[in-house]
Amino acid sequence: MKDLEFFRNISIGQYSSGDSLLHRLTPATKYLWLFALSIPGAVGGISGVAMVLLLALCAGRGAGIRPAFLLRGVKPALPFFVLAAFLQFLFGWPGDHSAALFTLGPLSATAREAAAVGMAVARTVALMVLLGVFTSITSEGEIAHGVEDLLDPLARLGLPVHRLALVVSATFRFIPVIAGELESIVKAQASRGADFGTGKGGPFARARAYLPLIVPVTVRALERAEVLAEAMEARCYTGKDRTRWVVYPKVRGEDAIRALALVFCAAAFAVDALLR
Amino acid sequence: MGSRFGVRKIVVTGALGAVVVALSLTQLGYIPWISGASLSVLQVPVIIGAVIEGPVVGILVGAIFGATSMVQAVINPAKGPIDVFFVNPFISVLPRLLIGLLAWLAFRLFRGRLRPAAAAAAGIVGSLTNTVFVLGALVLAGAIPASVAGAVLVANGLVEAGVAAILTAAIVAAWGGVEGRRGKARLADEES
């Protein structure tokens, strides 16, 4: 319960302001690179994943973010990587006939299991660093505006791009409001003897203890949404056209940087295919 | 999609998305349960969105849920044994898009009857969708073996589905009462 005050000034992301080239890129370019790198990072082979990890670490360096900061999530995750490996080795895969690397009691590591664990860990680390860099150089406003800019070409196909961007802005707008609601509800319940977190009893008894928390917070959120929708409609707002006046100036060679993102994505898969 | 995705749906999506983010950041969305494992109720706002505003809202709130768990895995890892793997969007985001869609289909199937009962059905289906597809993605990614996924499905998934059913029914019933009293925003059905 000591964290109650923290709710109000909740922060998402880990933006650190700076003036590096990466910081000055337009939000759309940042998104483009994020997607271009996360595809080979998530589905590519080992060499593609290695390329993504290396580039993300270099990008972090260029943006003035220490590698230790980006990799700080890896250290607490180490026991879980070990646990994941342990579970893989404990339970065999059906139809796995690859050579056994070692056997220790019920544990047997086959080459295929070891490769699966290695890939899962490599992928996780690469994507962790990549997302860490992205969230460090992209502010909340840029996250919302970037969606709009990136999808802008699709607006011509009839996709309601401005409305989707408005969804992102509305979410950011509502987060402190909802966090404040949560705070007052938790305090109100706590003052009446409610105990969140250490409750005893079966799962359904505990779920019932959460009813007076989840139900009012959701209903209050819906009520607030209703009021906001009515206010916007009363002002004839339809979300149809662009109503944003922030312009992100392109840095020199921004278009080339955008094209490079797609080239890199293709190259990662090409290198994978060549080395296979 | 243009005219059907009006201001009202945009704003409801944002509000429910913010509920997911707030519950996740404050850890209140996880009900502590036996031996450190916790039951997640973060899928409930997604299901609510699908039930009261339709599949598009459900899918979008699901996307916000997925993005939140992806970012959380980077910024605030080490909550549970497999959380780190949620940095992979194919584990964290893709399965969550299906929650709203399937929950909405379940709700449609049982609509007509008692509304809270239909909402409870949507809660069960939506929650199981989350469990099954996330576990499936984890197995495909090599994070956990299939036999462990099966055990988690039985031990955690079924209870989570029951909890989600209770919460969804309660919220839909409560919101129905509020809505009946006050009425929808007047212009909600006008073409924008």
Domains in chain B and their CATH numbers?
A: 7-181 (1.10.1760.20)
Q: Is it the case that residue B1 has pLDDT exceeding 50? A: no
A134/A51 same-domain check? yes
A166/A154 same-domain check? no
Chain A segment 231-270 residues within 8 A of B by beta carbon are 232-234, 237-240
**Residue A140: inside a domain:** yes
**Residue A1: inside a domain:** no
Q: Is it the case that residue B189 has pLDDT exceeding 60? A: no
The 8 Å CB, 24+ separation contacts for A68-71 are A69/A132, A69/A136, A70/A128, A70/A129, A70/A132, A70/A133, A70/A136, A71/A125, A71/A128, A71/A129
> Between A110 and B134, whose confidence is greater?
B134
**Residue A233: inside a domain:** yes
> Between B183 and A101, whose confidence is greater?
A101
Q: Is it the case that residue A157 has pLDDT exceeding 70? A: yes
Exposure letters B67-105 (e unless 16+ CB within 10 A, then b) = bbbbbbbbbebebebbbbbbbbbbbbbbbbbbbbbbbbe
Over the stretch B66-101, which tens digit does the pLDDT of each residue have?
Answer: 998 888 887 766 555 567 788 888 889 999 999 999
pLDDT at residue B149 in the model: 84
Measured CA to CA, the distance from residue A170 to residue B88 in angstroms comes to 25
CA angle A72, B86, A269 (to 5 degrees): 95
**Residue A244: inside a domain:** no
Residue A261's domain comprises 18-159+249-276
Q: Do A80 and B148 touch (CB under 8 A)?
A: no
Q: Is it the case that residue A57 has pLDDT exceeding 80? A: yes
A231/A260 same-domain check? no
Residues of A in Cβ contact (< 8 Å) with B162: 203-204, 207
Q: Do B186 and A233 touch (CB under 8 A)?
A: yes
A105 contacts B47 by C-beta, under 8 angstroms: no
A131/A265 same-domain check? yes
pLDDT at residue B127 in the model: 94
A132/A185 same-domain check? no
pLDDT at residue B3 in the model: 46
Q: Is it the case that residue A25 has pLDDT exceeding 80? A: yes
- Pick from B25, B65, B74 the residue to mutate for testing the A interface (most A CBs within 10 Å): B74
A64/A155 same-domain check? yes
A66/A165 same-domain check? no
- Whether chain A has a CB inside 8 Å of the CB on B33: the answer is yes
DSSP-assigned letters across all residues of A185-232:
HHHHHHHTT---SS--S-HHHHHHHHHHHHHHHHHHHHHHHHHHHHHH
A82/A149 same-domain check? yes
- C-beta neighbour count of A1 within 10 angstroms: 9
Q: Is it the case that residue A149 has pLDDT exceeding 80? A: yes
Least Cα separation, residue A22 to chain B (angstroms): 20
A111/A230 same-domain check? no
A235/A269 same-domain check? no
- Whether chain B has a CB inside 8 Å of the CB on A135: the answer is yes
pLDDT (mean) for B34-46:
77
pLDDT at residue B191 in the model: 45
A43/A167 same-domain check? no
pLDDT (mean) for B184-190:
49
pLDDT interval class at B142 (50, 70, 90): confident
Q: Do A13 and B71 touch (CB under 8 A)?
A: yes
Count Cα atoms within 13 angstroms, Cβ side, for A123: 27
Residue A163 C-alpha from the chain's centroid: 21
A271/A137 same-domain check? yes
Q: Do A170 and B171 touch (CB under 8 A)?
A: no
**Residue A8: inside a domain:** no
Measured CA to CA, the distance from residue A128 to residue A160 in angstroms comes to 31
Residues of A in Cβ contact (< 8 Å) with B157: none
With 0-12 CB in 10 A as exposed, 13-18 as middle and 19+ as buried, what is B183? exposed
pLDDT at residue A273 in the model: 85
* Total of domains in chain A: 2
Q: Is it the case that residue A224 has pLDDT exceeding 80? A: yes
Instruction: Tell me the ipTM for this assembly.
Output: 0.85
Q: Do A233 and B45 touch (CB under 8 A)?
A: no
Residues of A in Cβ contact (< 8 Å) with B88: 42, 123-124, 127
Model pTM score = 0.84
Q: Do B163 and A234 touch (CB under 8 A)?
A: no
